[in-house]
Structure 1
Amino acid sequence: MNRILSFATLLIICGSLQAKNHIVTSPNGKNVATVDDGLNITVSHDGKQVVTVKASIRDGLKIASVKSKNINETIQAPFYRQKEIRIAGNQMDVKLNDGFSLQIRAYDEGVAYRFCTTNKKQTVIFDETADFCFPEDSKAWLAYSTNDEKPFAMAFQNFYDETLLSKAKDKYIFLPATIQSGGVKVTILESDLRAYPGMFMKADGLKLRAAFAKYPKTLDRYPWRGMTYVADTEDYIAKSTGARTYPWRVMAITEKDTEMPVNNLVYALATPNQIGDTSWIRPGKVAWDWWNDWNLKGVDFEAGINTRTYLYYIDFAAKNHIPYVVLDEGWYDSSKADIMNPIAAIDLQQLIDYGKKKGVNIVLWTVFNVLDEHLREACEKYTKMGIAGWKIDFLDRNDQTAVEMAERLAKTCAEYKLFVDYHGFYTPTGMNRTYPNILNYEGVFGMEEARWAKKETDMPRYDVTFPFIRMMAGSVDFTPGAMRNGTKHNWVECYQNPVSMGTRCHQLACYVMHDSPFTMLCDAPTNYEREQECVDIITSIPDTWDETRILSGYISSYMITARRNGSDWYVGGQTNWDERKVDISLDFLRPGESYQATIVTDGVNANHNAEDYRIESKTLSTNDKLNIRMASGGGFVVKLIKR
């Protein structure tokens, strides 16, 4: 009876199904997508409807014909959470009138659809309809825009509001969004976003309606940093000329929370590698200056944005086999947006040359549009000087021209063999498959927030929420590694000498748990030098992986991740503010082999002193189990090196 009522409700909300339906089914038979003549796409899992999408990109589109085909791919995935992706699905090609078509794919991991056009003339999209209708009032995890006045202009960083869908706030939501429906979780994402605005949503009863930033008409500029922003817009969202595909609308479907962080649909649906050879791209860890406020101590010079300070950072990186140092904001005059000239206090060529002698490469920070305005000139100059890449910041929008800029930067930088780290950036959409020189993305409420957070901020809860949701979209530049750590009761706000929320082991675990091939060490070198044991743990953890598994966990509670590099395994876990004991089976290890284990756990006093930890070593095999206690806001790391 309840299912009949739910179905009746769905029909009222989303409109009656038409008589003629076309069906595509995932290889395992669990996920089924049905499209009717009104372009309503109904998705079911194990026979239960989980979402219906009213989809349209232009008025008056009608179905002309339908064809089907199989999808079976083996995707090489450099610098991703696993080395290779094998994925199979079934595709329905729906030919429409007016030169448009609709592709719908059903995978075991979820369902995706996109529009295409073969028009040779200019195509203007005034709006796209994507209404995601759910059959019942379900729990949802939603991240809202942080800019109420200009909701499409912000850094794509916020907590997740865990709420019933019907009680969602009247705010714009940025992706991903997760909704519990029909006994599974449906996570809405997008992939292959190119020359088109990214998708926002807004809740409307039991619907999530898509919304898009309008196409910019004029841009203006903030005096500080020279950052551009949209001053006025057109009445349409996108325009393009010639045949093209539009972004994939992805509904990832997961029966267990542990399936979420390893769902590969966003990466798999993106356009394949467009830059060719990737052998020159070198993932690695990076010593970072900004979070620790250049806060060196015990040195005989004034620390700050100057050559002496960065020579010290380079020496620290070299000693610990850290391949990169980033020069963040301040190496050029931001007030003048003068990217072509370092400030007088920085001898950039000296730093680059000294770093190369030490085996350390320099990465330079810049604002998106500032680099774009000098793109080839800057790339040519700084490539000749010897930099390795750019950390590019403050895009803070995802309209069509912003998305085009992001692709243009990645493509051009690849020509000069420069990698990029996109900060102040929208949720990733698989562009790191298309341009593998994009090593990392922000779009996450990361460690930088600890500099200005308040006591009531619940970072440990977020830390075990976003890997399930946000990490489905791609890697995260979370910037971990704090050596000053606070408990729930004694954490203090301190901008110039910041403190992380949670234990030391909570920080160490980030290096295993996060998809992050370019990972910062956020604290000051002189703080690390007093904690060499922790530095050695961090730097011993690989930056790329052959395999990733989520051993156990629940959104907002805790998570345990296991990753393989060659024959060695690394396990990391984190909990929210709840103290927790976990049992970990080592049945993923190769039978008959023994492993030298290094086990780093919260110390017995970590609930009082968050910096307390202990290390032990033992020999383990696939038949063993680990019993680990995580303190409040705690974590752990286990290294399993094959003997």
Structure 2
Amino acid sequence: MKIRILCFIFSFITLISCDVASSGVSSPDENVNVKFFLNKEGSFFYTINYNQKAIIDTSYVGFEFTNAPSLNKGFIAKVKKPNEVNETWQMPWGEQLNVVNNYKEIVVELQERDDLQRKLNLVFRVYNDGVGFRYEFPEQENLKEVFIKEEQTEFNLTEDYKTFWIPGDWDIYEHLYSTTKLSEIDAKNYKVNSALAQTSIPENAVNTPVTLVGEDGIHLSLHEAALVDYSGMTLKVDTKNLKFTSNLVGSKNTEHKVKRELPFKTPWRTIQIANNAPDLIESNLIVNLNEPNKLGDVSWFTPMKYTGVWWEMHLGKSSWDYGMEMVDGKWKDTGKAHGKHGATTENVKRFIDFSAKNNIKGVLVEGWNTGWERWIGFEDREGVFDFVTPYPDYNLDEVTAYAKEKGVQIIMHHETSAATQTYEKQQDTAYALMQKYGMHAVKSGYVGKIIPKGEYHHGQYMVYQYNNAAIKAAKYQVAVNAHEPIKATGLRRTYPNIISREGLRGQEFNAWSPDGGNPPEHLSIVAFTRMLAGPIDFTPGIFNIKFDEYRKENQVNTTLAHQLALYVVIYSPVQMAADLVAHYEANPKPLQFIKDVGVDWSETKVLNGEVGDYVTIARKERKTDNWFLGSITDENAREIEIDFSFLEAKTIYEATIYKDGKTAHWNKNPLDIIINNKELDKNSKLKFNLASGGGLAISLKKKN
């Protein structure tokens, strides 16, 4: 690119669009370099180099409105002097305790030259592990409110990257990942699972995080951070020119996709950059771009493992509904209960007893409240559920008192059936009930098409709903684990009661999906895509892999050792031991790992991995300083070497190793597992064989 004018002043740079004018900012280590330009029409674009190689070429920005002319050209610009920030903050819970937040920030002030003289600022933060930028609409005379039809943010790539993607569905994230060249992405012809309750793929677009791997080993992941009162962003694909362009989730009810009064800030657009796959997982770019903790002390939430009435319902052993009928506008016990109801006082007590015996601090109870008889398949679901009335066979007083006596917390469940107005009206009452019984965590669900009709799960309307449900929950000391959610964008830093969420194709698909469930490679992709956004409630720990007594056509497509490894590999501060109590009691030796493994960490080390193939992660527990390691592979068996140099010096660890047996295979022999003990220290190096679809789990406790 030929630069014909560069106007530079020490305190700030003024860009006047002659042919091209430019400025820029680099990361603290100087490896990531962002440059900004105005072309002769006064349009603003940026480029990004990494280690002196162009990874993002000429990429324009701007907005299209329904209530005003587009804002994308005719600019002059002032670029303020870069500011460097280097701080360390602490996670109240998380993958690590201390988080370094080191970046250089630069503000570009754009202003139109015409009569309107509308203003738009761009703020770039450049880290050693990537770039975040967002738009700021400052208070101004000629623009008071915007109706955004589309955000025109481009990511013009310089290579036909190997891309790991799911379609840019406006309504759901529960798709299997595809692995193709960027030029081969075809989301419009993606085969959607017939079991999904709702789906909408209007463009050849992908959802984020989308992860790309270059021929020279450079890894990129594009996403967003701090999604607040805005629409979720998908990325429209230009397969010919190898370019992504923002495509905001819209609504059938309005021409615009976002409505905001000025002043306001958009979410950050993020590009994580690494030399290898493990460094992507260790990046803290997404959480760092969010504002600091606004809640203060959240010690009332305790990271925990939990069991619950959940998997048995997906298997068909029991049901969510009781069998009540609606009579004169009220739910009545007509004596026609079908006898398969799972959330009974007696059944929940069994889970409480098991949890109390096995270092598991929580029990999730789904199907406890009235309304499940007609919650799905009905257009009008408003008013179906209430969130305080239990079925007749579930004694809330008795169960909560029993749990408290045993030192176990009951985790509340709120299935909204996507009837947002009903849930919004009842939230205070529902959260107050939880506070009364000392419940500090809720799993919320939003299955089905959103009501009001015409809204989508990932549009501005629902972003507001999800975030405000969590903010309100904090007032009652309630932490939220959302299913069928908006994407994770690091808001857990600002509101640390946002503890986990689904937002991917979960374990339940293995129980009933008509396409055979999740393939062995699934979580080897998820670790480098969806998990970059934040904690995942995946519900691992299935021991009865085949479950033929319930569903002969389905199974979990991993080995048992793989299921154990997930407690370390897939991060969440709440981790479910998802299988039936009987299956755990029949397998006490592998159960020991679930009893031992932590959920809250002071350090995380990603030891090796390749996107879609395998990954090995070690995490250090906060309270005990014990280490736990998990490794998983795809359908390919492989040998890996583990270097234990992350362990504390001059310390001997007693390692309990849970590894695939010699004949282990995700389909042919998934239960073949070998458990042995060994003393290890930081000088130890060991080789392990991972079976097809297999895994490795190790607990490392300091020897007294």
TM surpasses 0.5: yes
Identity %: 28
Q: Within 5 Å, give how 1:173-212 maps onto structure 2.
A: 173-181=206-214, 183=216, 184-205=218-239, 206-212=242-248
2:370 is the counterpart of 1:332: yes
Do the aligned partners of 1:292 and 1:496 also contact (CA within 8 Å) in 2?
no
CA distance in 1, matches of 2:264, 2:296: 22
Q: CA deviation at 1:467?
A: 0.2
Match of 2:179 among 148, 156, 162: 162
**Shift in Å at residue 78 of structure 1?**
2.2
Deviations 1:120-140 (A, max 9, x none): 733332321112111232221
Q: Which runs of 5+ in 2 are unaligned?
A: 3-16, 64-69, 112-117, 189-203, 318-338, 375-383, 448-455
| Secondary structure at 2:163 match in 1 | strand
Tell me if structure 2 keeps the 8 A contact 1:604–1:612. yes
Change in CA separation of 1:351 and 1:498 when aligned onto 2, cut-off 3 Å: farther
Task: Tell me, in whole angstroms, the C-alpha distance in 2 between the residues paired with 1:333 and 1:43.
Answer: 53
- In the alignment, the residues of structure 1 paired with residue 227 and residue 677 of structure 2 have an alpha-carbon distance, to the nearest angstrom, of 47
Correspondent of 1:443 among 503, 513, 521: 503
SS in 1 for 2:150: coil
Residues 55/47 of structure 1: CA separation in 2 closer, same or farther (3 Å cut): same
| Residue in structure 2 matched with residue 505 of structure 1 by the alignment | 561
Determine helix, strand or coil for the equivalent of 1:235.
Answer: coil
What pairs up with 1:485-496 in 2 under 5 angstroms? Answer: 485=545, 495=551
Q: State the partner residue of 1:54.
A: 60
CA displacement 1:510-550 (0-9 Å, x = unmatched): 00111111111111112111112222211211111111111
* 1-structure distance, mates of 2:567, 2:370: 30
Which residue is equivalent to 1:134?
Answer: 157
Is the counterpart of residue 66 in structure 1 residue 79 in structure 2?
yes
CA contact (8 A) 2:509 2:518 kept: no
Aligned-residue offset at 1:71: 2.0
Q: How many Å apart are 1:82 and its aligned residue?
A: 1.0
Question: 2:399 maps to what in 1?
Answer: 351
- Code of the residue aligned with 1:26 in structure 2: it is S
Unpaired runs of 5+ residues, structure 1, are 5-15, 146-150, 217-231
The whole-number CA distance in structure 1 between the counterparts of 2:655 and 2:72 is 63
1:30-66 Cα offsets, whole Å, 9 max, x none, are 1111111122111111111111332213514524311
The 1:427/1:593 distance shift into structure 2, 3 A limit, reads: same
1:598 and 2:656 correspond: yes
- Contact between 1:576 and 1:634, CA under 8 Å: does it hold in 2? yes
One-letter code aligned to 2:71? D
Helix, strand or coil at the partner of 2:164: strand
Deviation at 1:612, TM superposition (A): 1.6
- CA deviation after TM superposition for structure 1 residue 586, in Å: 1.1
**CA distance, structure 1, for counterparts of residue 275 and residue 526 of structure 2:** 18
Asked if 1 retains the 8 angstrom alpha-carbon contact of 2:466 and 2:485, the reply is no
| Residue in structure 1 matching 2:249, options 196, 213, 234 | 213
The structural deviation recorded for 1:281 is 1.1
SS in 2 for 1:390: strand
Query: TM-score scaled to structure 1, two decimals?
Result: 0.89
Is the alpha carbon distance of 1:340 and 1:496 closer, same or farther for their aligned partners in structure 2, counting shifts above 3 Å?
farther
Larger gyration radius, structure 1 or structure 2? 2
Seen in structure 2, the aligned counterparts of structure 1 residues 629 and 111 have a Cα distance that, compared at 3 Å, is same
2:320: which partner in 1?
A: none
- Equivalent pairs counted in the alignment come to 601
Correspondence for 2:601: 545
Q: Is the 8 A contact 1:199 1:212 kept in 2?
A: yes
Q: 1:617 to 1:277 in 2, by over 3 A?
A: same
Q: CA deviation at 1:93?
A: 0.4
Q: Which amino acid aligns with 1:579?
A: A
Deviation at 1:296, TM superposition (A): 11
Bigger drift between 492-501 and 258-267 goes to 492-501
**What's the offset of the Cα at 1:437?**
0.8
For the 8 Å contact 1:451–1:494, the answer to whether it is kept is no
Q: CA deviation at 1:270?
A: 1.1
> Aligned letter for 2:352?
I
Tell me the C-alpha RMSD between the 2 structures: 2.4
Residues 256-265 or 57-66, more deviating: 57-66
Work out whether 1:577 is the aligned partner of 2:629.
no
**Contact residue 482 and residue 500 of structure 2 kept, 8 A:** yes
- CA shift, 1:497, in A, is 10
The alignment status of 1:82 with 2:102, answered yes or no, reads: no
Contact 1:190 1:266 in 2 (8 A): yes
Q: Is the CA contact 1:593–1:642 (under 8 Å) kept in the aligned structure 2?
A: yes
1:334-358 Cα deviation digits (max 9, x unpaired): 3322223112221112111111111
Deviation at 1:79, TM superposition (A): 2.0
Map 1:301-450 onto structure 2 (within 5 A).
304-329=342-367, 331-334=369-372, 335=374, 336-368=384-416, 369=420, 370-394=422-446, 397-450=457-510
- For 1:382 and 1:416, the matched residues in 2 are separated by 8
Q: Which amino acid aligns with 1:555?
A: V
Q: CA offset at residue 498 of structure 1?
A: 6.2
- The code of the aligned residue for 2:393 comes to A
Retained in 2: the 8 A contact 1:275–1:411? Answer: no
Displacement of 1:503 in angstroms is 0.7
Cα shift at 1:453: 3.1
* Aligned partner of residue 460 in structure 1, secondary structure: coil
SS in 1 for 2:429: helix
